[in-house]
Amino acid sequence: MTDLFAALALRGTEARQLAALELDTIGGTVGIYVSEGGSGSTWEPHPEGQYPATCVDVVDRGWVQTDFGPKYKLRIVFFCGEWTEREIEGETVKLPQLVFYNCTASLHEKANLRGFLESWRGKVFTGDELGRFDMEKMLGAPAFIQIVHNQGRDGKVWANIKSIMRIPANMEAPGVPDGFQRACEREGWEGPAPHPDLTTADPHEPRSYSQPDDDLPF
């Protein structure tokens, strides 16, 4: 079978044609499918249900334009052990279905990310953690998540993480798929997106950890 992750490592136009994937809705999920058409690729939501899962990546997306202005975004990626197959140029490609949780990089008390992490870890943040928390500590961490289907503003059906909690003691999370590479390890990774008012992303720019998550209308 064709190695999906080798395909994802391709550069430039070829990479965009083979693996075009962009999700801007919080909790949006989809199987990663490759095709020559890029924007014409098939989108299928992850099956609904409750799953043991493993965090396989935390992606620093950088500044993303939202309805509330530019916000600094993270993408938390889970693998639940689900796979699918596609025919690509006459070859069968086995693909992992990954679950993406997109959020503003904020640990404000009203922020989505704070509640998500506290439910996942099974405990509230300490004062020191709220001042500075390394998201990469969550890499490889198991979880137990519930996935539901919802119709988005674009009319498509999306799979969303409705809830997350610590994995039960008698349950085992799936391992990381063979050959998986984090986004930042792939050839051609350009790093987090810069602020629209800047020419390059500033690694020292505050990640809004103490600010509200303005993705919410309240």
Token look-up 């609904």 returns: 48
Beta-sheet strands, E only, within the chain: 29-31, 49-66, 69-88, 91-104, 142-151, 157-165
Q: Across the chain, what does the average pLDDT equal? A: 77
The number of domains in the chain is: 1
What tokens does 172 get? 């085992």
Q: Given pLDDT bands bounded at 50, 70 and 90, which one contains residue 95? A: confident
Q: Is residue 132 in a domain?
A: yes
Q: Is residue 61 in a domain?
A: yes
What tokens does 19 get? 């693996």
Find how far residue 101's CA is from the centre of its chain: 5
Q: Which pLDDT value is given to residue 38? A: 40
pLDDT of 85 higher than 70: yes
Q: Is residue 98 in a domain?
A: yes
Share of the chain above pLDDT 90, in %: 51
Domain that holds residue 77: 4-178
Q: Is residue 209 in a domain?
A: no
Query: What is the spatial distance between Cα 201 and Cα 199, in angstroms, rounded to a whole number?
Result: 7
CA angle 3, 78, 141 (to 5 degrees): 115
SS3 for 36? coil
Which residue would you say has higher pLDDT here, 15 or 76?
76
The model's pTM is: 0.72
Q: Is residue 191 in a domain?
A: no
